[in-house]
Amino acid sequence: MQGIANISVQELRGVGPKLAGKLSDYGVHRVEDLLFHLPLRYQDRTHVTPIAGASESIDLVIDGEVRAADVVFGRRRSLVARIQDGTGTLTLRFFHFTAAQKNNLKPGTRLRCFGQVRRGSSGLEMYHPEYRLLQDEGSPVEETLTPVYPTTAGIGQNQWRNLCAQALSRMQREQVGELLPASEKYPYELTRALQYLHAPPPGASLELLREGRHPAQLRLALEELVAHNLSLHRLRERQQREGAPPMEQNENALAKFLATLSFTPTQAQSRVLSEIAVDLARTVPMMRLVQGDVGSGKTLVAAGAALQAINAGFQVAIMAPTEILAEQHWQSFSQWFKPLGIDMEWLSGRSKGNKRANALARLMSGEASLVIGTHALFQDDVAFSQLGLVIVDEQHRFGVHQRLALTQKTAPEQGRAHQLVMTATPIPRTLSMVAYADLDCSIIDELPPGRQAVTTALVDSVRREEVVARVAAACNDGRQAYWVCTLIEESDVLQAQAAEATEAELRTALPHLKIGLIHGRLKPAEKESIMAAFKNGELALLVATTVIEVGVDVPNASLMIIENPERLGLAQLHQLRGRVGRGAQASHCVLLYQSPLSANGKQRLSVMRESSDGFYIAEKDLELRGPGEVLGTRQTGLMEFRIAELPTHNHLLDDVQLISDDIRKTHPELADPLIHRWTGAGQQFAKV
């Protein structure tokens, strides 16, 4: 397309090679990129406020004449200027200043200042206001609200304002592609929306703009979400063109396997197994997300899929985000598959030397049909003989490019491996429409019989001794308990230290109980040994960090204490709570919080007390924390929108789906320009 989309920023005034380089590093290459570099917020500089009418803690424009200016030596050296406007006096204070700046603030100089007024030792003060010299009494004020742009080191707000103003001026003369099909529902034209958002008129509703609900924002958010949806569909189409090895289901083999189990699959598990079986038998890669609440039995579904691939002569890779979850899978699959004569292999970051070399050789030769491991599986030196299926657990802990890199480890003539991704963190429907538009979705919406509801209580940490006594009573009755320590810090060392301190304290308080300790710093063999001792009932109480969040199954554990739950997201708390309630006894979870709780913290923890429905909790988590947090930091690259915000713009998503489908079917020529406009080079994963 000709026009503004292809004009380099270097054609704008003031953009030399140095600034062009900084803009390029920031993802701004073309004039059109500047049009879509939208403000974070706005300042109202459209009228002057008399000093006598100044309100504290509000950004204001004030005109005044300098009466005096001098350097004051207090606890910190500062340049202080006193200005008057006939209604009052205001102090300007600068802690960072130059000699030239002091010389410019001569008595009699007229200034226009912008900043926030505070109450100081000498009355009303402005700290480090923006200001300029006024040449005459009637200097005009700004005609529009002043935008504040997202920025990076080395590019100031005045530069962004100047560049975006030039881009808007170009927009009036050049062609800007209107790429969305016309709609009565979203009447704002693209150019009108862009003009409004870069330079809102004085009467614009700052509240609507702040909340992302102005029609101009909705028009652009809709287009951005459509572009994102199209890019994920493009990713899916690209993979499906590569083809995949068909794997017919061996119903006798599946029936024999299910007959060896001590339980019968639920109807939901059977339904999802059938959906997967149909996908695997096709010649295009399966791309399916299986969601299921804590304890719904996703591992069995994964086993059924793996069995179908192995019986068809292919290898299967199962990837988990943590060693403890990978080890749980190893135990489950060993119990189920080794009696069937299926050869298994293990590969994690801690696999070293000969052990790792042997594992790689067995995968390369095809001797091992199933490999279970962590991120180590998608490293370059891991190669397969006949990889046919990739199963990724806790999908939200991995980036899109990571799971796709693993599916590429097939023989060239074979196409791409089928992929099954699973999560026990229920993804709200609205979020999955955005984050997982490239995947078909199955939901295991039924818990196996015998799962107990977990009663949740909020207890202030001042009542810690009562909670310790409750643990003692439960363990004395022959039950087992978890005590989970949380820290804000990501450091394994600090988390381990916190858990060790808690374990020492509980050993002193409960000397008659056998207490174990598990954290991320332990060696895999130590973790495995401690978990086995807890599972076998040799330990009454397990002190742990959040490493036990997923995959741990101890039916006799019926009490969980979570310290400082206000530090965790609701989805993570729900995962942790899911470690109890797996046996026949009534189960309880105590959220031992530190007071005072913020209003948001109280609201979040109350959700945990009210509900045990993972999908309801996930919706609330999205509402209270936003998508980047709900999906986990590894997904944030996928969710960094320029203007769209979830859940603010959830109501657009049904229309996004319809518009995206319409473009793909009837206006396919619009897809590439839309994707390029909104994602540019930022969607590198789409090339995987």
Q: Residue 537 burial by CB count (10 A; 0-12/13-18/19+): exposed, middle or buried?
A: middle
In this prediction, residues 45-56 reach a mean pLDDT of: 92
In this prediction, residues 162-190 reach a mean pLDDT of: 84
Q: State residue 14 phi and psi, 5-degree precision.
A: 85, 0
State pTM to two decimals: 0.70
| Tokens of residue 356, six digits | 């790792």
pLDDT above 60: residue 577: yes
Q: Residue 395's pLDDT is what? A: 59
- What structural domains does the chain harbor? 4-43+146-211 (no CATH), 51-133 (2.40.50.140), 243-444 (3.40.50.300), 454-611 (3.40.50.300)
| Tokens of residue 253, six digits | 């083999």
Q: Are 370 and 316 within 8 A, CB to CB?
A: yes
| Tokens of residue 344, six digits | 């298994």
Q: Residue 568 burial by CB count (10 A; 0-12/13-18/19+): exposed, middle or buried?
A: buried
Q: Residue 687's pLDDT is what? A: 35
Q: Residue 633's pLDDT is what? A: 38
In 3D, which of 95, 45, 56 has the Cα closest to residue 73? 95
> For the segment 185-223, what is each residue's pLDDT rounded down to a tens digit?
777 889 999 999 999 999 899 899 999 999 999 999 999
Q: Residue 400's pLDDT is what? A: 61
The sign one gets for the Cα dihedral 482, 483, 486, 492 is negative
> Which of 299-308, 345-354, 672-681 ranks highest by mean pLDDT?
299-308
* Conformation bin of residue 27: beta by default, left when phi > 0, alpha when psi is -120 to 50: left
Give the pairing type, strands 418-423 and 387-393: parallel
Q: Residue 300's pLDDT is what? A: 93
> Which of 134-138, 444-448, 468-472, 684-688 ranks highest by mean pLDDT?
468-472
3-class secondary-structure state, position 296: coil
pLDDT > 90: percent of the chain: 55
Q: Residue 176's pLDDT is what? A: 79
Mean pLDDT score across all residues of the chain = 87
Distance of alpha carbon 29 from alpha carbon 34, whole angstroms: 8
Q: Are 393 and 366 within 8 A, CB to CB?
A: no
Q: Residue 314's pLDDT is what? A: 96
Q: Residue 589's pLDDT is what? A: 96
pLDDT above 50: residue 8: yes
pLDDT above 50: residue 637: no
Type and span of the H or E element at 126: strand 123-127
Q: Residue 492's pLDDT is what? A: 63
In this prediction, residues 75-101 reach a mean pLDDT of: 93
pLDDT > 70: percent of the chain: 91
| Tokens of residue 611, six digits | 């509900």
Q: Residue 552's pLDDT is what? A: 65
pLDDT above 80: residue 99: yes
Of 111-120, 351-360, 641-650, the range with the lowest mean pLDDT is 641-650
Look-up of token digits 């001026």: 169
Q: Are 212 and 241 within 8 A, CB to CB?
A: no
Q: Residue 489's pLDDT is what? A: 53
pLDDT above 60: residue 622: yes
In this prediction, residues 332-356 reach a mean pLDDT of: 91
Q: Residue 638's pLDDT is what? A: 45
Q: State residue 38 phi and psi, 5-degree precision.
A: -95, 150
Q: Are 389 and 302 within 8 A, CB to CB?
A: no
Q: Are 459 and 560 within 8 A, CB to CB?
A: no
> For the segment 11-39, what is each residue's pLDDT rounded down to a tens digit?
999 999 999 999 999 889 999 999 999 99
> For the segment 251-286, what is each residue's pLDDT rounded down to a tens digit?
888 999 999 988 889 999 999 999 999 999 999 999
In 3D, which of 281, 316, 466, 279 has the Cα closest to residue 390? 316
3-class secondary-structure state, position 137: coil
pLDDT above 60: residue 685: no
DSSP H helical ranges for 243-387: 251-259, 267-280, 298-311, 323-337, 353-365
In order of 72, 146, 195, 196, the CA distances from 208 in angstroms are: 43, 16, 16, 13
Q: Are 340 and 257 within 8 A, CB to CB?
A: yes
Beta bridge partners of 561: 483, 590
Q: Are 348 and 524 within 8 A, CB to CB?
A: yes
Beta bridge partners of 392: 319, 421
Q: Residue 452's pLDDT is what? A: 72
In order of 88, 293, 609, the CA distances from 613 in angstroms are: 60, 8, 11
Q: Residue 640 burial by CB count (10 A; 0-12/13-18/19+): exposed, middle or buried?
A: exposed
Q: Residue 471's pLDDT is what? A: 97
Q: Residue 636's pLDDT is what? A: 36
CA 548 to chain centre: 21
In order of 230, 387, 530, 651, 683, the CA distances from 663 in angstroms are: 9, 35, 55, 20, 20
Q: Residue 548's pLDDT is what? A: 73
Q: Residue 402's pLDDT is what? A: 65
Q: Who wins on pLDDT, 525 or 638? A: 525
Q: Residue 288's pLDDT is what? A: 93
Q: How many CB atoms lie within 10 A of CB 221?
A: 23
In this prediction, residues 155-182 reach a mean pLDDT of: 88
pLDDT above 70: residue 463: yes
Of 126-140, 201-215, 343-357, 490-504, the range with the lowest mean pLDDT is 490-504
Q: What is the DSSP letter of 431?
A: H
DSSP labels for 510-563?
-TTS-EEEE-TTS-HHHHHHHHHHHHTTS-SEEEE-GGGSSS---TTEEEEEEE
Q: Residue 247's pLDDT is what? A: 95
pLDDT grade for 244, boundaries at 50, 70 and 90: very high
| Tokens of residue 320, six digits | 């988990």
pLDDT above 60: residue 635: no
Long-range Cβ contacts of 253-262 (<8 Å, 24+ apart): 253/307, 253/311, 254/304, 254/307, 254/308, 257/303, 257/304, 257/307, 257/336, 257/340, 260/336, 260/339, 261/300, 261/336
Q: Residue 553's pLDDT is what? A: 75
Q: Residue 684's pLDDT is what? A: 40
Cis peptide bond N-terminal to 647, omega within 30 = yes
Compute the C-alpha angle 628/632/634, nearest 5°: 95
pLDDT above 80: residue 127: yes
Tell me the angle at which helices 323-337 and 524-535 cross, rounded to the nearest 10 degrees.
Answer: 60
